[in-house]
Chain A
Amino acid sequence: TQLLEQSPQFLSIQEGENLTVYCNSSSVFSSLQWYRQEPGEGPVLLVTVVTGGEVKKLKRLTFQFGDARKDSSLHITAAQTGDTGLYLCAGGKGGNTGKLIFGQGTTLQVKP
């Protein structure tokens, strides 16, 4: 069974602090996505990483794909209250396989 484990599960920080969320697996993925979900909404795609060691930046968010394509991290610099939400990583096998495995999520609360 392919599993994606996220840590931490819950994170409560003050505005302005930095944080990192981890997504780990024993399986190799051809791509890995990060989504953010706000209450009452569906997840929204933030980024896709496909190359081992790849780093992508989205404003204050930095995403990294592990060299072996088994893990990923999301780093947020100077968190804002608008960053509050559920962060989900998802791994795909790509190619001719549309199967996508989601992690259990990290709930982030940024307090003013």
Chain B
Amino acid sequence: EAGVVQSPRYKIIEKKQPVAFWCNPISGHNTLYWYRQNLGQGPELLIRYENEEAVDDSQLPKDRFSAERLKGVDSTLKIQPAELGDSAVYLCASSPRRGGLYTGELFFGEGSRLTVL
């Protein structure tokens, strides 16, 4: 079974430029998460989707960040314009349900490392 696929793995951009990250979750996983992680730190949730609906975006900086999950499968996270402080690894994860309930078990992609110069 294929895991969570993210692209690009690495991105270097100048500040004020736009950037987009793509995620393909594990087939059948309805819940999709975008996290941001700084070096040596735990992941911080940006947004959580249940199918195509964003059910928790309270920590998404909406002035510059946007996300979408069309058709409830693939997802895209965009930053426009990027700032120096956005340099981090952006992780996508998907999670299965069992008996209709959340399991809390996340399967992560390898992440997209963003460097803003």
Contacts and interface: CB of A to CB of B under 8 A. Distances in A.
Interface string B11-24: 00000000000000
Contact of A33 (B4, B35, B105): B105
Contact of B50 (A44, A98, A107): A98
Contact of A48 (B33, B104, B108): B104
Interface stretch (A13-21, A54-62, A76-84, A86-94): A86-94
A73 interface: no
B27 to A, nearest CB: 18
Contact of B103 (A40, A48, A91): A48
Given A99-B48, A99-B56, A104-B41, A42 B105 contact: no
B41 A100 contact: no
Contacts of A88: 42-43
Contacts of B70: none
A50 to B, nearest CB: 9
A31 interface: yes
Interface size class of B (residues with CB under 8 A): 20 to 34
> Which of B33, B42, B101 counts the most chain A CB atoms within 10 A?
B42
A95 interface: yes
Contacts, number: 73
A56 B49 CA distance: 30
A41 B27 CA distance: 20
A42 B110 contact: yes
Contact of B101 (A42, A48, A96, A103): A96
23 contacts: A30-B104, A31-B103, A33-B104, A33-B105, A33-B106, A41-B111, A42-B91, A42-B108, A42-B111, A43-B91, A48-B105, A86-B40, A92-B102, A94-B103, A95-B101, A98-B31, A98-B50, A98-B95, A99-B45, A100-B33, A102-B44, A103-B42, A105-B42
Given A86-B40, A91-B104, A98-B55, 13 more contacts: A33-B106, A35-B106, A42-B4, A42-B93, A43-B106, A44-B108, A90-B104, A95-B102, A98-B50, A99-B45, A100-B104, A102-B42, A102-B44
